[in-house]
Amino acid sequence: MTMPIRLLVADDHAIVRKGIIALLEREADIAVLGEASNGQEAIDRAAALRPDVVLMDLVMPGVDGIEAIHQISASQPGIRILVLTSFAGDEKVFPAIKAGALGYLLKDTGPDALIRAIRQVARGEAPLHPAIARKVLRELAQPSSHPAAAHALTERELDVLRLLAQGLSNREIAEQLVISDMTVRTHVSNILSKLHLASRIQAALYALREGVATLDAPSPTQVIST
């Protein structure tokens, strides 16, 4: 039997937390381990409970969601973080992704889409709300002010990076390159280390931004698999 996705819900509004928990308790493959009302509680409970996924609000009292994402990602990189917030501005979106968030949803997201996104994040995919995907793709269209560091990657790592940016999963990348899943995971780890990136979504966005990879017909609903 497949183990359920172990989830921590962090939001400063009790009615939102309780509503999300009530929704998710009906899903057999999702187990809510606990809840947090601010960023510091999220950090502490993530350390104690070690969930698979944290559903994270961004604007909370005391330690905010972005700082909580940064601390959780730094101390427990195996935990995957899905942002659920009302804020779609650049000052929230890009710092959250840079801090290590794997997915980014807005609170107008429907219940089915939220449940689907939690499952996607647990699989290592990076769901983005359509409004956020459009913002990210517009940002990618702007010229970069940072010199590319792709020369630090081997040819095989570049191959993996291109396929990762096109939305392929580890298994699909392995099939394309005729290598093992473990080898793909090793290459992804090396890519993140060499490019000084915190997450696979950052690697995919880097590849698109720097012209290492392209999307011929990008969808407004972008999902990046890892």
- State yes or no: pLDDT of 226 exceeds 50: no
Task: Give the span between the Cα atoms of 55 and 84, in whole angstroms.
Answer: 6
Q: What integer pLDDT is reported at residue 135 of this predicted model?
A: 73
Q: To the nearest whole number, what is the mean pLDDT of the chain?
A: 85
Neighbour order of strands in the sheet with 80-85: 30-36, 5-10, 53-56, 80-85, 103-106
Instruction: Output the CATH code of domain 5-129.
Output: 3.40.50.2300
Task: Give the span between the Cα atoms of 201 and 224, in whole angstroms.
Answer: 7
Identity of the residue numbered 182 = M
Tokens of residue 217, six digits: 């017909």
- Phi/psi at 84 (5° precision): -135, 110
The answer to whether domain 5-129 and domain 143-224 are alike in fold is: no
Report the greatest alpha carbon distance in the chain.
51
Measure Cα distances from 127 to 40, 107, 124, 159 in Å: 25, 14, 10, 23
Q: What is the pTM of this model?
A: 0.69
Identity of the residue numbered 3 = M
Tokens of residue 92, six digits: 């929230």
Q: Domain 143-224 belongs to what architecture? A: Orthogonal Bundle (1.10)
Ordered by start, the domain boundaries in the chain are: 5-129, 143-224
- State yes or no: pLDDT of 220 exceeds 70: no
- State yes or no: pLDDT of 198 exceeds 70: no
- Phi/psi at 137 (5° precision): -65, -35
